[in-house]
Every structure is written in C-alpha cells, then in structure tokens.
C-alpha cells in the first residue's frame, strides 16, 4: 500500500468536522458494497472482543467464516503487539 495515499486518506477523513460530513465522504469514496463490508468488519471485531463464537458471528452478519477468521487473526496480532 502506498503510505502517501493512505496518509492523504487519513488526513481527508480526519478533516471532517461533522458526522454527516464523514458519512458523505465515506459514501463518496466507497461503493455501497464496500461500505457494508467495512461496517461488517467493524462489527466482527466488536463481536470477537465480546467473546461471540466465530460461527455465530458469520451467521448473524451473513458473512463467510473466512471473513470472520481474518478479523480474529487481525485482532490476535493487535493483542500480541500490546504485550510487553
């Protein structure tokens, strides 16, 4: 990933002062399917953190188990990075 482009994206989103402006920016940048996917991934992380089993998450959100497993792997890496 091009870090310059990522930084530009982050700066653009951080520049949004209002919730409506941020939503509009996301809708301008993402297709409806991409926005749904991003929202689902956030819910996956939250549900994993709450201890919901992976198969239940997949069922509730209507996503594949591989998507949930990807989230679990990302969460595990994040937790390992926090350890001293």
Whether 72 and 38 share a structural domain: yes
> What pLDDT score does 1 carry?
81
What pTM value is reported for the model? 0.83
**What average pLDDT does this structure show over 67-80?**
92
Residue 63 has pLDDT above 80, yes or no: yes
> What pLDDT score does 38 carry?
96
Mapped onto helix, strand or coil, the DSSP state of residue 50 is coil
Whether 21 and 51 share a structural domain: no
CA–CA separation, 38 vs 70, rounded Å?
Answer: 13
- pLDDT tens, 35-62? 999 999 999 999 999 999 999 999 999 9
Residue 84 has pLDDT above 80, yes or no: no
Q: How many domains does the chain have?
A: 2
Whether 41 and 1 share a structural domain: no
């Amino acid at each position: 990933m091009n870090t310059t482009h990522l930084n530009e994206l982050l700066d653009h989103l951080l520049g949004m002062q209002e919730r409506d402006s941020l939503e509009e920016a996301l809708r301008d940048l993402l297709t409806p399917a991409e926005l749904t996917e991003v929202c689902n991934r956030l819910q996956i992380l939250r549900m994993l953190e709450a201890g919901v089993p992976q198969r239940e998450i997949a069922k509730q959100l209507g996503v594949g188990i591989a998507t949930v497993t990807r989230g679990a792997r990302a969460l595990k890496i994040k937790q390992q990075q926090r350890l001293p």
